[in-house]
Amino acid sequence: MLALHFADAVAVHRGIMVKEVVTDFGSRCPAFLVAEACCLAVKHIRIRKVAYEGQGLSDIGTGPGAAFTDGAYFDDGTTFSDVGDSVVYAPDGGQPHDLAYVLDQVVSFLAREANAYRHLTP
């Protein structure tokens, strides 16, 4: 939710629509869009927003964590048998996203963005 509120604040500062900020952030940090979808799913149970139509809370659960340290799974969505469980987002049963890695990427991205806006703080 922090990511979406940060996008709101940037939109107000820039005088543009939040959608434009989300598109910009998503182009520079694809994990941001995964985090946005998860936040919307948790908040609304089923998402009606066109980009995530039909995804929802049922797409988030626990499961085996990512196979690699960058948060990636094998192409078929599997991982190593000895990997512990994590919170996983798999929209429509598709490619899973290990949310620990997603959130780490988003927090790092937002920290860089916040630094760019540091001069605006009173």
Whole-model pTM over 0.85: no
- Is 90 exceeded by the pLDDT of residue 113? no
Which sign, positive or negative, has the C-alpha torsion 70, 75, 78, 81? negative
Residues with Cβ < 8 Å from 29, sequence gap 6 or more?
105, 106, 109
What would the mean pLDDT of 76-95 be, rounded to a whole number? 87
pLDDT digits (tens, 9 = 90+) for 33-61: 888 888 777 776 666 665 666 677 777 88
Is 47 in contact with 37 (CB distance < 8 Å)? yes
pLDDT digits (tens, 9 = 90+) for 55-79: 777 778 899 999 998 888 999 989 9
- Domain coordinates of the chain in residue numbers? 2-120
